Amino acid sequence: MSKAWRQLDLKGAGLQQMNAEYIRDMRRPVVAYALMAAFPLGLHRFYLKEPLGGIAYLILSLSLLLGLPIGAGIWLLLPALGLLGGAIFDLFWIDRRVTHLNKTLRMRHFLRPDHRPPPGYQGRGEEPDPREERSTGAQPASFNQQEAMLRALMKANKGRRTPP
């Protein structure tokens, strides 16, 4: 490959590049659940960008480890229950958190404020292009319009007998 090709910046703001960046940055539930196997360390919380939860796991784990040699009874039970309760909660929380993070990430990647439509782009207007031939006949009524017509018909026929 020549030096000129190596110097080209082909990144651009194209859809393929944005998709590649998004896929690289997105969070995966499989990884989060694998990290949860070591839940006393709170690694899954750090992976899911929830550092306060990860720190809470570390504090509870340290208090449990420091309390073991002392044998503090009920005070030893509290961090253990906190860790167990957090782990059970996180079993259900991880899917929601991954979905939320990926949605936020997708919006950040694809809805960048610096991206604008190409020059001359007029968008999809409501008015049809006069150059296109339209099919004969009017547009069919929408569901809401059909419901309104039926209600009006029922009101108009109220009290009248219709032939069977």
What are the mean pLDDT values of the chain's consecutive 10-residue runs (164 residues total)? Answer: 51 67 88 89 92 92 80 75 90 92 83 64 56 59 79 76 57
User: How big is the CA angle at 7 (ends 6 and 11), to the nearest 5 degrees?
Assistant: 90
Predicted local distance difference test score (pLDDT) of residue 43:
92
* Residue 97 within a domain: yes
- How far apart CA 158 and CA 129 sit, in angstroms, is 44
* Residue 58 within a domain: yes
Predicted local distance difference test score (pLDDT) of residue 49:
92
* Residue 2 within a domain: no
Enumerate residues 6+ apart whose C-beta is below 8 A from 55: 42
Predicted local distance difference test score (pLDDT) of residue 126:
54
* Residue 158 within a domain: no
* Residue 102 within a domain: yes
Which residue range is the domain that position 103 belongs to? 26-110
Predicted local distance difference test score (pLDDT) of residue 75:
72
CA 9 from centroid of its chain's CA atoms: 30
pTM exceeds cut of 0.85: no
- How far apart CA 121 and CA 132 sit, in angstroms, is 18
C-beta of residue 57 within 8 angstroms of C-beta of residue 83: yes
Predicted local distance difference test score (pLDDT) of residue 25:
86
What is the rounded radius of gyration, in angstroms, for the C-alpha atoms of the chain?
30
* Residue 142 within a domain: no
Predicted local distance difference test score (pLDDT) of residue 20:
78
Number of domains in the chain: 1
Predicted local distance difference test score (pLDDT) of residue 89:
93
* Residue 6 within a domain: no
